Chains A and B, each alone.
Chain A
């Protein structure tokens, strides 16, 4: 058992647990945050997508010890933020959901991409969504929402010369 302290949505929290406990289980079992869904459990389906330090990450692949000092945002918080309104609106208008199980994860990735500067074009956005699987829609509605949210032509080259871990 060890204690990790991190920021969860708007609050500073601490959790005492085994170091390899999954973030997904911490969110759902300890905090009742159930927007992140258990799916494949191996980082393939994206149903458990959260943002860690503002970057999309699969909560099923993140162990508790990695959370120390980090900032975690879940779809509960992102959905309550007016900045995600264009994405929520596009998903609803375009019929980009059926059963809804993948929708929080999908919305987390779409919102991240939609808030990037420069915004990716449709082809890039579709490619960057490859980690969010949907078993209902056949992706037609999701493709329409991409067309509503992202420009048809590529942006000017984005130079990422920053560094991440």
Chain B
């Protein structure tokens, strides 16, 4: 048996086909096929691009932004509404792959890979996944599944008007390599200069997408201006979030400490940065 492709016409049909463990959803396929050795495995690909609900970017009546899972990474990178309503996602796509790969690759595919830069951004934006039956589930909960179900779209709540964002990707080269870590941060600063509602999404090589909940809790109620890159409390909190990877924890803590240390009220740190 060689590789075959199914073309379901409805989400329900695609989800039903996926109950067979020898199947995989495919959209752009830019990452999926790189995991095969020739010849291709005995696998049935479930083509999701023909499904209508996986396309399009639209503002919803409740103010959230709905992004179809099949939207290309290049569309996300250059889309004015995404830049305004999901800035971390736009930043992530700006330092992800190259133009021609971004034309092929999709948000859902990057998410399904689990280690993709967009996952960090989606988590910091509190994204919810829209599933085949129309239900919505927090992406952070969904990522706990061993095998991700069909995701039709991502719903992102509107950012707080005073929210600051920063995104940083650290790789072995400036471009075109999987990130050691990608960090996406959304945070508000209260009238008293204290951090509030901090959300930190992280993904990277060998690090599936996750929120850094210990670090978030530690940072909330800190004075932004008093943080530094060597802050022991922050280092300990990030280490608790990444217990199996102390090197990445040190790296993440240095980035967070440095960025938060420079973050002053009224000084939005929203420039994407890719460190070589």
Contact = CB atoms under 8 A, between A and B. Distances in A.
A130 B175 contact: yes
Interface stretch (A55-63, A72-80, A86-94, A138-146): A55-63
A46 B56 CA distance: 28
A165 B55 CA distance: 7
A24 B140 CA distance: 38
A57 B81 contact: no
A64 to B, nearest CB: 10
Nearest to B175: A130
A57 B175 contact: no
Interface in B1-36: 2-5, 28-30, 33-34
A44 to B, nearest CB: 6
A61 B101 contact: yes
Interface in B50-82: 55-57, 68, 70-72, 74-75, 78-81
Interface residues of B, number: 36
Interface in B162-194: 175-176
A43 B79 contact: no
Nearest to A46: B100
Contacts of B231: none
Contacts of A66: 29
A117 interface: no
Interface string B225-242: 000000000000000000
Interface in B96-113: 97-101, 103-104, 106
B5 A58 contact: no
B70 A165 contact: yes
A20 B81 CA distance: 35
A30 B81 CA distance: 43
Interface string A29-55: 000000000000011101001001001
A12 B230 CA distance: 63
Contacts of A58: 100-101, 104
A28 B68 CA distance: 34
Contact of A61 (B57, B72, B104): B104
Nearest to B77: A160
A130 B70 contact: no
B261 to A, nearest CB: 29
B98 A46 contact: yes
Nearest to B177: A44
The binding surface of chain B is classed by DSSP as mixed
Contact of A160 (B34, B45, B79): B79
A159 interface: yes
B72 A165 contact: yes
A71 to B, nearest CB: 14
B57 A19 contact: no
A131 B2 contact: no
The residue in A130, A132, A158 that gathers the most chain B C-beta atoms within 10 A of its C-beta is: A130
A128 B71 contact: no
B98 A57 contact: no
Nearest to B7: A65
Nearest to B94: A127
Contacts of B56: 163
B80 A159 contact: yes
Nearest to B43: A20
Given A132-B98, A165-B55, 4 more contacts: A46-B98, A61-B33, A109-B99, A161-B57
The 7 closest A-B pairs by CB, nearest first: A131-B98, A56-B100, A160-B78, A164-B75, A55-B103, A159-B80, A19-B5
27 contacts: A2-B5, A18-B3, A19-B3, A19-B4, A19-B5, A20-B3, A20-B40, A42-B34, A43-B30, A44-B98, A56-B99, A58-B104, A65-B5, A109-B100, A128-B99, A130-B98, A157-B80, A159-B80, A160-B78, A163-B56, A163-B57, A163-B75, A164-B71, A164-B74, A164-B103, A165-B49, A165-B106
Interface of B: 2-5, 28-30, 33-34, 40, 45, 47, 49, 55-57, 68, 70-72, 74-75, 78-81, 97-101, 103-104, 106, 175-176
